[in-house]
Amino acid sequence: MKILVTGGAGYIGSHTVIELQAAGHDVVVVDNLVNSSEIALKRVEKITGKEIPFYKVDIRDRESIDRVVHQFKFGCCIHFAGLKAVGESVFLPWEYYNNNITGTLVLLDVLKKNSCKNIIFSSSATVYGNPAVVPITEECPKGECTNPYGQTKSMLEQVMMDMQKADVVSSDPNPWNIVLLRYFNPIGAHKSGTIGENPNGVPNNLMPYITQVAVGKLERLGIFGCDYDTPDGTGVRDYIHVVDLARGHVKSLKAIEEKCGVEIFNLGTGVGYSVLDVVKAFEEENGVKVPYVIKERRAGDIAECYSDPSKAYEKLGWKAEYGIVEMCRDSWKWQKNNPNGFEE
């Protein structure tokens, strides 16, 4: 299938391009490079041995995005483009709503006008808020999002569901097919160690913080709270290897091909690890020390969040193959080989 990948130069997008090409799909990437580097795509080309048509386009720029969508007859769009820093979104709400909401509205309109009404959207487990029960199934109600970033994901899910519903109600002969993928905590990197997550400034997320401590860029990890109601008191999350996540997108094309209407899938492993579990696994697998200090709880954090990923297995035949050992190994390989990210 010919696939438009928005945000394809980013962390999850670049890994997904590899898996899409490996599965025989034709990929075109658009990205405005606000949080990524074209070098990532050059490295992807090296891994796959295939060229990636790339357009440096902001998805809010209707004319430019229309030109790309019109030129290629896409069978589906996989939509990663967006700003994603939870903490930053609290201070820059307008920028987050403008980029993520306006950008997606323009993209949806352009896709529709060009008769490409198939989309796979990067949503997030954050839409569940503080879950009443774990593991979280797709049936669990959405919860309160405590930050603008999370709101954009929740709102955009609603926008897309409403657009699809309108097509059904009006018996549109070419209705939308929409797959909403709720990612849990993506970590890890491609096994080559040449692409990976490259956060700007001091990382907010656990694994990039750990790898930067291990490589000597940061002194020690601060663990946010040790008095949660979890086995060791630290927060529990469902970490998923980014390559497994990428493959989840390839498998989701099956739902699109089967004209799914709207489908929601959790993409996680179903296993929860605490912060201390991750630190220990990282140290053991990589033979490096990660000094840490216990700090106050971080505002907005929840005790436990992990998925029930069985729907994706039943409907798409997808399940995560990699465990915490591979996640730690590959995150470290990327960081060790690229202490300064994509700077060459």
Bridge partners of 179, per DSSP, are 120, 263
| Partner interacting with residue 60 (select from ligand WQD, ligand NAD, none; CB below 5-8 Å by kind) | ligand NAD
Edge-to-edge strands, sheet with 262-267: 54-56, 26-31, 2-6, 76-79, 118-124, 177-183, 262-267
Instruction: Tell me which residues touch ligand NAD (CB under 6 A).
Output: 7, 9-13, 31-36, 58-60, 80-84, 99, 103, 122, 124, 183, 186
Residue 192 touching ligand WQD (CB under 6 A) = no
Distance CA 59, CA 142 (A): 27
Instruction: Choose one: 5-13, 34-42, 201-209, 310-318; the region binding ligand WQD (CB under 6 A).
Output: 201-209
Pick the piece of the chain touching ligand WQD (CB under 6 A) from 42-50, 156-164, 199-207, 324-332. 199-207
Other residues' Cβ atoms within 10 Å of the Cβ of residue 245: 27
Which entry of 149, 209, 239, 306 is annotated as an active-site residue?
A: 149
Output 169 or 293, the one with its CB closest to ligand WQD. Answer: 293
> Of ligand NAD, ligand WQD, none, which one does residue 103 interact with (CB within 5 to 8 Å by kind)?
ligand NAD
Sequential DSSP letters for 52-102: --EEE--TT-HHHHHHHHHHS--SEEEE--S---HHHHHH-HHHHIIIIII
DSSP of 180-198:
EEEE-EEE---TTSSS---
Q: Is 149 a catalytic residue?
A: yes
Mind giving me the DSSP string for 301-336?
--SEE-B--HHHHHHH-------HHHHHHHHHHHHH
From the list ligand NAD, ligand WQD, none, partner contacted by residue 12 (C-beta under 5 to 8 A by kind): ligand NAD
Residues in 15-44 at the binding interface with ligand WQD, rule: CB under 6 A: none
Nearer to ligand NAD, 82 or 248 (CB): 82
Smallest gap from residue 15 Cβ to ligand NAD (A):
8
Number of neighbouring beta carbons within 10 Å of residue 212: 18
Q: Which residues bind ligand WQD (CB under 6 A)?
A: 84, 86, 124, 126, 185, 204-206, 209, 221-224, 235, 237, 275, 298, 301
Active site residues: 149
